[in-house]
Amino acid sequence: MTRVMNLLPCRRLGWLLVGLVILGASAPVYGQQSPQKTSPGVLTAFRSVVARPSESTVRVFCDDKEAALGTVVSADGLILTKASELKGKTTCKLKNGQTFTAKVIGVEEKHDLAMLKIEAKNLRPIEWRESASAIVGNWLASPGTGSEPVAIGVVSVAARKPAIRDMPMSAPRTNAGYLGVVLAEADGAPKIGVVSPASPAAKAGLQVGDLVLKVAGRAVKDPGSLVAAIQSFQAGKTIVLEIKRGMEVKEIKATLDKRPPELNRADFQNSMGSVLSNRRGGFPAILQHDQVIKPTDCGGPLVDLDG
């Protein structure tokens, strides 16, 4: 899934999606991998853990450059990966070295998932376990297509639904647009719970209690889709928001700004020792761990010590 997507180690965990499940902005794990976790001897010790799940992992290329990992979900060539890392002609390389052209057959924005299809047979699908079985403090490994994991670590915070107020805290890319609202729980549409003073939202006249129905003509049905829609525009862009205020539906123009420096502090800390993936916030569910995973290694499985 804040992930984006990796599958996880904790005893009796099995497979989980992570590299989709991204580190939560509300409680960031600061991004420096300890030397012990990256030493060749330690990684070698995890070979047996990732041996089987690595057969269900593929390397995804876009325009012949490494873009992400992918997780095999059916024997006839369906592969799940991290959607926001896909840009250009897509191919998949299996553990045995075979390469196939991949077609994107579906995208699920809320969890940043893309389903790829390759013309291959007899692949080994991943085996799934519930993310709730991941116990804090238990070991995890992220398989790649090689004999060793691409990262190892432990569960930091158990799988959970983040508070709505925490969902906008990670911008997906440099110079992404900032509106300046905190979202509240609501049914059917994102609801504005707080309007930051002097923010683009305040200047546009948005008010607490407004329901946001559309962003630039595009319907938004939950906080995650609103966050993704706003952050798909650059700072300085003027967009039209369709809102519902009481019984009235109206359009409001807002000129997006850059995120205030204090909101970028968590991203700065998480980037120490690693680069960050294109999308790392706005997920409806997250599992937090201390692995430092490069964007090109997101999209694969996260496994427990039983593989």
**What b/e string do you get for 261-271 counting C-beta neighbours within 10 Å, with b at 16 or more?**
eebeebbeebe
Among 223, 293, 233, 280, CA closest to 31:
293
The answer to whether 4-161+279-303 and 172-255 have equal CATH topology is no
Task: Give me the CATH code for the 4-161+279-303 domain, please.
Answer: 2.40.10.120
Strand ranges (E), 122-276: 139-142, 151-160, 181-184, 191-195, 211-215, 218-219, 238-245, 248-255
**What is the domain partition of the chain in residue ranges?**
4-161+279-303, 172-255
With tokens 């080994």, the residue in question is 124
> What's the pLDDT score for residue 297?
92
**Pairing between strand 113-117 and 151-160?**
unpaired
The one-digit pLDDT tens for each residue of the chain (307 residues) are 333 344 333 333 333 333 333 222 233 333 344 445 556 667 888 899 999 999 999 999 999 999 999 999 999 999 999 998 999 999 999 999 999 999 999 998 878 899 999 999 999 999 998 888 888 888 999 999 999 999 999 988 888 887 655 554 344 455 788 898 888 767 788 899 888 888 999 999 999 999 999 999 999 888 878 888 888 899 999 999 999 999 999 999 999 998 776 555 555 445 455 567 777 776 778 888 888 888 899 999 999 988 8
pTM of the model: 0.62
CATH of domain 172-255: 2.30.42.10
Cβ contact 173:47 at 8 Å: no
Q: Cα separation of 55 and 176, whole Å? A: 37
